[in-house]
Amino acid sequence: MSEIRRVVNSAVQSFVLDQLSLLTVLDQLSLLNRKAKRLEANVTRDNDNIVLTLADQEQVTDEYKGIKIWWASKLTTPNKQSITFYPREDEKRHFRLTFHKTYRDIIIDNYLKHVLDEGKSITIKERQRKLFINNKSENWYGYRRSMWSHVVFKHPATFDTLAMDPVKKQEIIDDLMTFSKAKDYYAKVGKAWKRGYLLYGPPGTGKSTMIAAMANLLKYDIYDLELTAVKDNLELRKLLLDTSGKSIVVIEDIDCSLDLTGQREKKKKDEENDPIKDEITKKMEEKKLSEVTLSGLLNFIDGLWSSCGSERIIVFTTNYKDKLDPALIRRGRMDKHIELSYCGFEAFKAFAKKYLNIDSHDLFVDVRKLLEETKMTPADVAENLMPKSDGEDKESCLMRLVKALEEAKEEEKRKAEEEEKRKVEEEEKKEKENGKVIKEVLENGENVVAE
């Protein structure tokens, strides 16, 4: 018996790995093996995630490319009987990995890397994601500066729930997925691993919803940057340096956040000429204005420090793309421009499926025609389509939408007529004024001749 044990012992190679890295390895491995009944581990709950742990002396078997590997956990407690003046050493935990010695190279070169990589991706998938916002807080010296604070990010929006043209949607998903896997590619071409998205369109067309869907798809954190709360370019740079990788930095309504179109200068000049505003009020208002400039923002996007930390997405949203400085949104800064517009028939069908669980209905024909004739945001379509009580049937939801679309069409028609009338009146007024001027000139001319 002892001979057999000796033979077996010599045939296997054991490795006691560094405690810290192995703790991670094992935590991750235990997650990987959550389906494995043989783990016989203690099961606890951390929020929505199941966490499996390995007790002392417990063993877990893993298989990699047909190779069997045994993991064992061992707890070493310090000898409590000895008397010492020095602080006692804490308990030490280590893990023993056992496998056949022929596989030593594969295990060390490939298997451990595989476990760590898998573990990392599980950790990212399972971790609680955060929504950061910047607000002004006072430090010890009473100096107010913008700092990040966060809440847990739990938004239900996904690309599945986002109603839009499926082809366009798939294109965006592919773009995001390609980006998230392109670490080596970006390194090869010598570019910082970041990508800019400009989402533009009228209010209520799903820009914020898309950002949440992006974060949920990639499992990234969100940094919602309020530019008006940032004192100057220096503070902006500091905030950026405080963000982590695997994140989306969002500046919503970029056209309203800052005067980036040269309007600020004009505003200041107007105020300077205002005699009523006294000097103190002006100074106080000036202090409140953020001094972040267009060049500061451009540097924020693609300056040298923007590459500190990688795998970052920057998203700007705006209702008015044309208002933005072209330098801000040129490709390379905002690599992909995505228009979110009024609800089309494809987006409506997605809502109908989601809210009413139907793919077709007689009223779809009416809805399609009305959507082509009038503009309604996805937010309004969703609101009209959503059942208002438990028992409300699909038909009455669709009827409500049809009615709302008809009303919107009428309203648009009325507004167009009013606009037309206003233009005609303006033309008439101009013509009248021109006629008056001509008459006056003619009369004056006659007078001159008479003199």
Contact 119, 29 (CB under 8 A): yes
C-alpha distances in angstroms, 233 versus 206, 264, 373?
30, 16, 46
Q: What are the structure tokens assigned to 217, written together?
A: 């798809």
- Residues 6 or more apart whose CB falls under 8 angstroms from that of 385 comprise 351, 352, 355, 356, 397, 398, 400, 401
Q: How far is the CB of 294 from ligand ATP (least distance, A)?
A: 22
Q: How far is the CB of 177 from ligand ATP (least distance, A)?
A: 20
Q: How far is the CB of 195 from ligand ATP (least distance, A)?
A: 20
Q: Burial code of 252-285, b = ≥16 C-beta within 10 A, e = fewer?
A: bebbebbbbeeebeeeeeeeeeeeeeeeeeeeee
Q: How far is the CB of 249 from ligand ATP (least distance, A)?
A: 16
Closest to 226 measured CA to CA, from 287, 290, 294, 288: 290
The nearer residue to ligand ATP, 147 or 176, going by C-beta atoms, is 176
Contact 128, 152 (CB under 8 A): yes
The dihedrals phi and psi of 88, each to the nearest 5 degrees, come to -70, 150
Q: How far is the CB of 205 from ligand ATP (least distance, A)?
A: 4
The nearer residue to ligand ATP, 206 or 309, going by C-beta atoms, is 206
Q: How far is the CB of 395 from ligand ATP (least distance, A)?
A: 22
Rounded CA gap, 352 and 350, in Å?
A: 5
Q: How far is the CB of 174 from ligand ATP (least distance, A)?
A: 18
DSSP assigned state of 179 = H
The nearer residue to ligand ATP, 60 or 222, going by C-beta atoms, is 222
DSSP assigned state of 85 = S
Q: What are the structure tokens assigned to 53, written together?
A: 């742990």
Q: What are the structure tokens assigned to 236, written together?
A: 């902006």
Bridge partners of residue 42, in order along the sequence: 53
Overall residue count recorded for the chain in this entry: 451
Secondary structure of residue 125 in the 3-state scheme:
helix
Residue of minimal Cβ distance to ligand ATP: 206
Q: How far is the CB of 229 from ligand ATP (least distance, A)?
A: 18
The nearer residue to ligand ATP, 133 or 379, going by C-beta atoms, is 379
Q: How far is the CB of 303 from ligand ATP (least distance, A)?
A: 27
Q: How far is the CB of 169 from ligand ATP (least distance, A)?
A: 9
The nearer residue to ligand ATP, 303 or 344, going by C-beta atoms, is 344
Contact 30, 53 (CB under 8 A): yes
Q: How far is the CB of 207 from ligand ATP (least distance, A)?
A: 4
The nearer residue to ligand ATP, 112 or 227, going by C-beta atoms, is 227
Q: How far is the CB of 206 from ligand ATP (least distance, A)?
A: 3
Rounded CA gap, 199 and 340, in Å?
A: 7
The nearer residue to ligand ATP, 192 or 379, going by C-beta atoms, is 379
The nearer residue to ligand ATP, 53 or 319, going by C-beta atoms, is 319
Beta strand pairing call for 247-251 and 312-318: parallel
Contact 246, 218 (CB under 8 A): yes
The nearer residue to ligand ATP, 122 or 334, going by C-beta atoms, is 334
CA angle 240, 246, 248 (to 5 degrees): 60
- Positions touching ligand ATP (CB under 6 A) are 162-164, 203-209, 319, 340, 347, 378-379, 382
Contact 5, 18 (CB under 8 A): no
Closest to 378 measured CA to CA, from 156, 126, 204, 252: 204
- Strand segments, DSSP code E, in 162-254 are 194-200, 221-224, 247-251
Rounded CA gap, 246 and 221, in Å?
A: 7
Give, for 178, the enclosing helix (H) or strand (E). Answer: helix 166-180
